[in-house]
Structure 1
Amino acid sequence: MTDPGSRYAEAARRSRLVTTEDGRVHAVLPIRFVPPTSGWYRHTVIEGDRLDLLAARYYGRADRFWLIADANPGVDPEDLLTPGARITVPPDRAG
């Protein structure tokens, strides 16, 4: 039973029954997909980090490295990847 005010209330209405190998029956909820966040990240640089690798990690596309560089104005590019530095990684609004 799910509380009617719960964020899972709609999902509970779409639940289905599943029988396990031992014969027990369970009501299961469908997968609730969460959209990507639009927030900003703070990344602590470690040895070996590169902007293209960070872009691939955060955006799934290495060619978005410039978003990270642009989000850190006033930081010399030579210092941007100093181990221990905390840099800003913005959301990917480049589309």
Structure 2
Amino acid sequence: MFDSTSRYYTLQTTKFTSLDGRTIAYVRRRFLPQGKDLPALGEVVIQESDRLDQLTTTTLGEPEQFWQIADANNAMNPVDLTAESGQRLRIPLPQV
């Protein structure tokens, strides 16, 4: 259902039968890991012009993996990660 690099790849798919008899497939909820529990590759200090997709490409090799940096920094909203210059971000070891 999801690509192997997706944050949803390991989630269980289950089914629900509605009152009218329809079967609806869905993916169970993803619980966010604690950033401090993820192995770190290093840290970066945010500069005014930084963008999360560019930081992710530079550090993890793929811009679509921004969610790994968000997880490592306990961020529910990825935009917050680059909102303040001088902020330090943990860069996790890439998850495969």
Higher relative CO (Cα under 8 Å, sequence separation at least 6) belongs to: 2
Tell me by how many angstroms 1:54 deviates. 0.7
Distance in 2, Cα, partners of 1:92 & 1:84: 23
Counterpart AA for 2:74: P
Query: After superposition, what is the alpha-carbon deviation per residue over 1:2-48, rounded to whole angstroms, capped at 9, x for unaligned?
Result: xxxxxxxxxxxxxxxxxxxxxxxxxxxxxxxxxxxx74211100011
Q: How many residues align?
A: 57
User: Using the alignment, how far apart are the partners of 2:47 and 2:65 within structure 1?
Assistant: 19
Tell me which residue corresponds to 1:87: 89
Bigger Cα Rg: 1
TM-score w.r.t. length of structure 2: 0.51
Q: Which structure 1 segments of 5+ residues have no match?
A: 1-37
Residues 37-67 of structure 1: CA deviation (Å, up to 9, x unaligned): x742111000111111111001111111110
Q: Which has more strand, going by share of residues?
A: 2
In structure 2, relative to structure 1, the CA distance for the partners of 1:62 and 1:76 (3 Å cut) is: closer
Mapped partners of 2:73, 2:47: distance in 1: 17
Taking the aligned partners of 1:65 and 1:74, their CA distance within structure 2 comes to: 11
Residues 44 and 90 of structure 2 are in contact (CA less than 8 Å); yes or no, is this contact kept in structure 1?
Answer: yes
**Structure 1 residue 79, shift from structure 2 partner:** 3.6
Scaled by the length of structure 1, the TM-score of the pair is: 0.51
The Cα RMSD (Å) is 2.1
Which 4+ stretches in 1 moved above 6 angstroms?
none
Identity of aligned residues (%): 35
**Residue 75 (structure 1) shift:** 7.5
- For residue 69 of structure 1, report the CA deviation from its aligned partner: 0.6
What secondary structure is seen at the aligned counterpart in 2 of 1:67?
A: helix
1:1-95 mapped onto 2 (5 Å cutoff): 39-73=40-74, 77-81=78-82, 82-93=84-95, 95=96
